[in-house]
Amino acid sequence: MIDIKKVVVLGANGTMGAGSGEVFAAGGCEVVFLARSADKAAEGVATAQNMAKSARVADRISVGSYDADLERVCAEADLIFEALAEDLALKKTFFERVDKVRRPESIVATVSSGLSIAAMAEGRSETFKRNFLGMHLFNPPHVIVGTEVIPHTGTDPALVAASVRLLEERFGRVAIVCDDRPAFAGNRVGFKVLNEVAALAETHGPAFVDYLIGPYTGRAMPPLATIDLVGWDVHKAIVDNVYANTRDEAHAQFKMPKFMDNLIGQGHLGNKTPAKGGFFRRVKDGKQTTLFALDPATGHYVESRAHPVQPIPFVEEIRALHRVGRYREAMRVFATASGAEADLARRVVFGYVSYALNRVGDDEVVRQPRDVDLIMGFGFNWAPPTVLVDIVGVAEIRKAIEKYGLPLPKVLAAAKPGEPMFREKFVNVGRFFSA
């Protein structure tokens, strides 16, 4: 087991920096928060206190600035954790500085949500390369425990295994190992679905698709509400990166919708720009909040109450079954419902299963279905793909995948009907199916 006592967080005033720093401090480490100024770093400490719901978490955190403190504190650190903006050049500049002063055995990790780990390591010393990897925590880290460990080809394999153990045993994470591919595992699979639904919003409207691909399909939050929460700028950065750097079977689905690009240009970034909004906009008038939904065709917002989504019988039937815990029957209704809406929903949901399990293999993003299951379950709060396979049935889902012209993943082709694929005995799968 590697021992981590001193941690330096670069970019500690951002949500991921402060949140990850809170995880390390809560795990008993001595943590230094660095930002452009010590005052900015102190803002990160306040964020960490709010996340921990404790002022005392700050007892283990000190603050400093890049200019005054970086070299000194990085020279003493066991782990240097980079949480700067998603800008490769910026990260490389900092890694160059870190490399000059770090101890040869110290670990350097990046929380990047999808940039190339190898590219970040390029040009660095041999000991840096050996001890450098991605540690992708999800936002907000104090709540979402799913974590990806991403080595590049030069990372010491022993460090990879030790990091997983460290994250799980000391920091309470659910950690998986994945390859250094654009967006890694969770975001690669998750944003494929999110972007596909975003594109559907152009034709069908955001309220309708968020209802159709809603929580009842096995997710804690509807897809477009998720994009609004994440921020359209972050969404764009992730899908553009995957679109530019991969050529898999879902390549076209990573193309950023044009209407979103246009609206980003006008300052629509989702919840972080409340006055402009994203797919949805909430207008507060005193205690009253009115919800508006985007009309992608015009870029205008229409009041949701005035244009309610018409309930779809099969969706309502499934929600009623979920409400009383009859998940298997509910998803059988999902698998067999007729009509264009059912086909639309199934294409997305079974497309998710197909795409996620196709990322499993020797030349893929993860080695075993368990990895993609855990990261979707604990990073996204979505039903893990094999949970959907188990609940719908191997034969039925194979048939559906064929019907929608989706590639049949090898692990699904090899699966034996009647034998559960999801085997995490301490996970209540019912939690993934909201009514």
Partner 1 sequence: MATPIYVLGGYQTDFGRNWNKENKHIVAMMREAVEGGLAATGIEAREIETGHVGNFAAELYAMQGHLGAFLVDTDPALSGLPTARHEAACASGSIAILAASAEIEAGRYDLAMVVGVEQMKTVDPARGGDFLGTAAWYEREAKGVEFPFPKLFGKLGDEYDKRFGLKDEHLARISAVNYSNAKRNPLAQTRSWYMTEDHAMSTDKFNTVIGGRIKISDCSQVTDGAASLFLASEKAAAAYARKRSIKLDRLPRLLGWGHRTAPIEFSTKVAESKDNPYVLPHTRQAIVDAFRRAGVRDVWGVQGIETHDCFTTSEYMAIDHFGLTRPGESWRAVEEGVIEIGGKMPINPSGGLIGCGHPVGATGTRQVLDAYKQVTGQAGDYQVDGARRFACLNIGGSGTTSCVFVVGYEG
Q: Minimal distance in Å, beta carbon 308 to partner 1? A: 18
Q: Which stretch binds partner 1 (CB under 8 A): 81-89, 291-299, 338-346, 421-429?
A: 421-429
Among 68, 85, 143, 252, indicate the residue that binds partner 1 (CB under 8 A).
143
Q: Which is nearer to partner 1, 357 or 374 (CB)?
A: 374
Closest to partner 1 by CB, 26 or 198: 26
Please identify, using beta-carbon distances, which residue of 27 and 351 lies nearer to partner 1: 27
* Residue among 342, 374, 392 nearest 176 (CA): 374
Nearest Cα to 379, choosing from 206, 127, 116, 188?
188
Question: CB 148 → partner 1: shortest distance, Å?
Answer: 17
Angle, CA of 135, 141 and 147, to the nearest 5°: 35
Which residue in 84, 109, 133, 145 binds partner 1 (CB under 8 A)? 145
Total residues binding partner 1 (CB under 8 A): 29
Interface positions, 19-58, toward partner 1 (CB under 8 A): 22, 26, 49, 52-57
Q: CA–CA separation, 428 vs 391, rounded Å?
A: 13
| Burial (CB count <10 Å: 0-12, 13-18, 19+), residue 421 | buried
Give me the amino acid identity at 105. Answer: E
Q: How far is the CB of 45 from partner 1 (least distance, A)?
A: 14
Check binding of 433 to partner 1 (CB under 8 A).
Answer: yes
Using CA atoms, how far apart are residues 350 and 398, in angstroms rounded to an integer?
9
Site string for partner 1, 149-188 (x = CB under 8 A): -----------------------x----------------
Tell me the per-residue interface mask from 181 to 220 with partner 1, x by CB under 8 A, - otherwise: ----------------------------------x-----
Site for partner 1 in 313-342 (CB under 8 A): 319, 322-326
> Shortest Cβ distance from residue 427 to partner 1 (Å)?
8
Strand order in the sheet with 300-303: 280-285, 288-295, 300-303
Give just the sign of the alpha carbon dihedral 343, 346, 348, 351: negative
To partner 1, the closest distance from the beta carbon of 26 in angstroms equals 5
Can you tell me whether residue 194 is helix, strand or coil?
A: helix
Q: Report how far Cα 55 is from the mean position of its chain's Cα atoms.
A: 28
SS3 of 17-55: the string is: HHHHHHHHHHCCCEEEEEECCHHHHHHHHHHHHHHHCCC
| 418 near partner 1, rule: CB under 8 A | no
Residue 189 zone, left/alpha/beta (φ > 0; ψ -120 to 50; rest)? alpha
- Of the candidates 120, 97, 136, which has an alpha carbon nearest to the alpha carbon of residue 19? 136
Per CB under 8 A, 15 contacts partner 1: no
Interacting residues toward partner 1 by CB under 8 A: 22, 26, 49, 52-57, 59, 142-143, 145, 172, 215, 319, 322-326, 426-428, 430-431, 433-435
